[in-house]
Chains A and B, each alone.
Chain A
Amino acid sequence: MKDIKEHTATSSETSKTIRITGSEAMMLSLIHEEVDTIFGYPGGAIMPIYDALMNYTDKLRHILTRCEQGAAHAAQGYAKVTGKVGVCMATSGPGATNLITGIANAMLDSTPIVCITGQVGAPLLGTDAFQETDVIGITMPVTKWNYLITRAEEIPEIMAQAFFIARSGRPGPVVIDIAKNAQFGELDFKYSRCHILRSYLPKPKIEMGNIYAAADLINKAKKPYILAGQGIILGDAEDEFRAFVEKSGIPTAWTILGACALPKDHPLNVGMLGMHGNYSTNIKTNECDLMIAVGMRFDDRVTGDLSRYAKQAKIIHLEIDKAELNKIVKADVPIHGDVKDSLPLLTNLIEKRSHEAWLQEFKEVDKIEYEKVIQKDLHPVKPGLTAGEVIHIINEKTGGDAIFVTDVGQNQMFASRYCKFKNKRSFVTSGGLGTMGFGLPAAHGAKIGAPGKEVILFVGDGGLQMTIQELGTINQTQAAVKIVLLNNKYLGMVRQWQQMFFQKRYSETFLLNPDFIKVAEGFGINGKKVVERPQLAAAIQEMLDFQGPFLLEVSIEKEDNVFPMVPTGASVSEVILEQKK
């Protein structure tokens, strides 16, 4: 026991070898990787590990979600706000398959998580044993790496590799499936962290020739435009990015996952890109003469019709994942590498500039958007409440000093457009996969990861019901998640599309909802419902002041739409501000 204590004293390397079980080795491996929180759900094939967990509760906090999907999303919320690897655990078969949506979400959004799944004993593999599923096979297309451990001796080395792969390079999900016999088996345990794998180059060497070429293009450009992606955040390069933006004086727009790369009130921050991004950011895409894409991947929701996307511009693309270079948009100057390394090299070589007239062009276009959209969203005069005004009041009361989490759909678009992101890593949303049901568990994981921060979730009535059981988890931890339910009694985004593109044929988008306040109450969570404007500000204040989790339900206008919008198949320059009459 004394030797085990030495291992739990958190040094990342140990010289001492101890004889322990695979399950204990799993716990010690997690401790060596500085894991402090596990989101999970026990079951038959992972019981030995859960048994070992009881010996390490002083180091490892386990949070029992109500469904494994909740564990995967919570681990992502945790990873997003802490910058650490999120960890979740599940049993074999249905436990593991319930994780899949979360793993796919982490894959598309490059979120570092390690998922540990129990598996039937090695002798039973392939025999259709009870709760046996081919987890390696199923997760292969949605993981950065996965591995089936069949012998206890493999555990330390494989776990070290799992964490190294999950967090380095372009991060992503790793699944470690561990057969029950490996959990019971014994091994001589010794741990050393993994820093190198010969087949894997997480930090590419930067070619200086391309840096010179890029600097030259930047110094010559008349209307340069920076697109900020999540790569900046994942690379922990917000400061380097800010230095680059400020020296270059270039207007900077961001993808939804790049939301906190630059504070929202920064004078060079011109807004969000994409389908429901800002008006100016989309229009100016087809007017700039140079595009500098930093750690982003030209998602189709950003580019609209590719054949009419920024054809006039030269493209510099800074990206750590070689497979993203020239995948969607051909780069004139590709810079393969970690933006944390490449940005300072570039900043060094560019001239200090300001692009006042060009920036002013954005501001002129912004005025149109303000008048046609933003004013009506944030300061409505109609009787119905809007999502925009709810977010606006929260901005005023928090000053943007909060972590904002969203579900998927209209709530997500309103939040990303209007939340005043102030701090690094203060936005958690499901970008690539667009996973409804992500919000509630992710907000919980975010609050666990950043207990000192106000964590505010914006969620719709549809998405909340997809993972509503996680209210039970939140009640158990008493994590003070502030849940803002924007209830329009519809699957709002789908309804908006039906209204605009399917002649208002509202096929299966109306929801007969439960009494959410009573549901929350049943789960032991306080709540309040607001239906009229005069009560809104006070209710928000009450929510923010409340010590503990709180559900604020706001009945919003049923048929509000999110604008601007780049309709499917349209060019970014054809972004619309309202529905054609």
Chain B
Amino acid sequence: MAKMKNNNGDKNGKQTFTISAFSENHIGLLNRITIIFTRRHMNIESLTVSGSAIPGIHKFTIVVNDIPEKVEKVVNQIEKLVEVLRAFYHTEEEIVHQEIALYKVPTTALMESNKVEETIRKHHARILEVTQEFTVIEMTGHKEETQELFDELNEYGLLQFTRSGRIAITKASRELFTSYMQETAKDSVN
């Protein structure tokens, strides 16, 4: 579990945590989980839900900014839900995380100068689709990085922009949850 690190909390002791919860893929579970945050008046910075490595099990990745004690309690409440198998929380140092962003710019902006092309190259972004009217650019990275590209492309008349929630993987060699599933398979006392 996450250890409190003094060097990265803000002045209120708040820091960014990434919560990962593994659950059955049942109707209404997202609601059950978000209620826990609502009750404690805690804001969700980003939320990603999708199938996990194990068929039938879904993974919630939730980013919050709060004090460690409060995050721990919320994680315990999530794990308490009948249909949640396990829930964990991690500091920024404990995970590798990524987001994806899509940008739509007018194709004329690319034609008129090579500035846009330079920008795309500099940010290691890539072009997904080009039409006569618009070009869709994709970039993966941390929020600050995708934001930087946003700011730069905005100068060329950005038509649309969208950013995903965070996905994350732990630095521990095996996923905590995979270890848990293997252990419980061994001694399924329940």
Q: Which residues of A contact B (CB under 8 A)?
A: 136-137, 140-141, 144-146, 148, 165, 195-203, 205, 321-323, 325-327
* Cβ–Cβ contact B76 & A322, under 8 A: yes
* Cβ–Cβ contact B82 & A323, under 8 A: no
Interface mask (B178-190 → A, CB under 8 Å = 1, otherwise 0): 0000001000111
Residues of A within 8 A of B32 (CB): 140
Q: Which residues of B contact A (CB under 8 A)?
A: 23-24, 27-28, 31-32, 35, 39, 72-73, 76-77, 79-80, 82-85, 184, 188-190
Residues of B within 8 A of A146 (CB): 28
6 A-B interface contacts by CB (under 8 A) = A141-B35, A198-B85, A322-B79, A322-B80, A323-B79, A327-B73
Residues of B within 8 A of A199 (CB): 23-24, 82-85
> B24: nearest residue on chain A (CB-CB)?
A199
Residues of B within 8 A of A202 (CB): 190
A326 to B76 CA separation, bound complex (whole angstroms) = 10
* Cβ–Cβ contact A323 & B23, under 8 A: no
Residues of B within 8 A of A145 (CB): 82-83
Q: Which of A140, A197, A198, A326 has the most CB of B within 10 A?
A: A198
* Cβ–Cβ contact A321 & B80, under 8 A: yes
* Cβ–Cβ contact A323 & B77, under 8 A: yes
Our pick among B76, B79, B85, B190 for the contact of A327 (Cβ within 8 Å) is: B76
How many whole Å from A204's CB to the nearest CB in chain B? 10
Residues of B within 8 A of A165 (CB): 82
A322 to B85 CA separation, bound complex (whole angstroms) = 14
Residues of A within 8 A of B24 (CB): 199
How many whole Å from A203's CB to the nearest CB in chain B? 7
Residues of A within 8 A of B77 (CB): 323
A574 to B32 CA separation, bound complex (whole angstroms) = 40
How many whole Å from A165's CB to the nearest CB in chain B? 6
Our pick among A197, A198, A200, A205 for the contact of B189 (Cβ within 8 Å) is: A205
A195 to B72 CA separation, bound complex (whole angstroms) = 29
Residues of A within 8 A of B28 (CB): 136-137, 140, 146
Residues of A within 8 A of B79 (CB): 322-323
> B73: nearest residue on chain A (CB-CB)?
A327
Q: Which of A136, A205, A323, A326 has the most CB of B within 10 A?
A: A323
Residues of A within 8 A of B31 (CB): 137, 140
> B28: nearest residue on chain A (CB-CB)?
A136
* Cβ–Cβ contact A201 & B190, under 8 A: yes
User: Given A199-B82, A202-B190, list of 8 further CB < 8 A pairs?
Assistant: A140-B35, A148-B27, A199-B84, A205-B189, A322-B79, A323-B80, A325-B76, A326-B73
> A201: nearest residue on chain B (CB-CB)?
B190
How many whole Å from A23's CB to the nearest CB in chain B? 23
Residues of B within 8 A of A196 (CB): 188, 190
Residues of A within 8 A of B80 (CB): 321-323
Residues of B within 8 A of A326 (CB): 72-73
A145 to B29 CA separation, bound complex (whole angstroms) = 10
Q: Which of A200, A321, A325 has the most CB of B within 10 A?
A: A200
Q: Which 9 A-B pairs have the closest CB atoms?
A: A323-B76, A199-B85, A323-B80, A196-B190, A145-B82, A200-B82, A199-B83, A323-B77, A141-B35
* Given A136-B28, A140-B31, A205-B189; A197-B82 close (CB under 8 Å): yes
Residues of B within 8 A of A327 (CB): 73, 76
Our pick among B39, B83, B189, B190 for the contact of A141 (Cβ within 8 Å) is: B39
A121 to B23 CA separation, bound complex (whole angstroms) = 28
* Cβ–Cβ contact B76 & A195, under 8 A: no
A475 to B73 CA separation, bound complex (whole angstroms) = 47
How many whole Å from A323's CB to the nearest CB in chain B? 4
* Cβ–Cβ contact B82 & A144, under 8 A: yes
A145 to B184 CA separation, bound complex (whole angstroms) = 23
A203 to B188 CA separation, bound complex (whole angstroms) = 11
Residues of B within 8 A of A323 (CB): 73, 76-77, 79-80
A198 to B77 CA separation, bound complex (whole angstroms) = 18
How many whole Å from A193's CB to the nearest CB in chain B? 14
A538 to B127 CA separation, bound complex (whole angstroms) = 93
A322 to B84 CA separation, bound complex (whole angstroms) = 14
How many whole Å from B29's CB to the nearest CB in chain A? 10
Residues of B within 8 A of A137 (CB): 28, 31
A325 to B77 CA separation, bound complex (whole angstroms) = 11
> B38: nearest residue on chain A (CB-CB)?
A141
A137 to B35 CA separation, bound complex (whole angstroms) = 10
A137 to B38 CA separation, bound complex (whole angstroms) = 14
Residues of A within 8 A of B190 (CB): 195-197, 201-203
Residues of B within 8 A of A203 (CB): 189-190
Residues of B within 8 A of A325 (CB): 76
A145 to B23 CA separation, bound complex (whole angstroms) = 14
> B189: nearest residue on chain A (CB-CB)?
A205
> B181: nearest residue on chain A (CB-CB)?
A198
A400 to B23 CA separation, bound complex (whole angstroms) = 48
A201 to B32 CA separation, bound complex (whole angstroms) = 18
How many whole Å from B76's CB to the nearest CB in chain A? 4
Residues of B within 8 A of A201 (CB): 190
> B27: nearest residue on chain A (CB-CB)?
A148
A322 to B75 CA separation, bound complex (whole angstroms) = 11
How many whole Å from A14's CB to the nearest CB in chain B? 23
A274 to B153 CA separation, bound complex (whole angstroms) = 62
Residues of A within 8 A of B184 (CB): 198
Q: Which of A141, A195, A199, A200 has the most CB of B within 10 A?
A: A199
Residues of B within 8 A of A197 (CB): 82, 190
A200 to B189 CA separation, bound complex (whole angstroms) = 11
Residues of A within 8 A of B27 (CB): 148
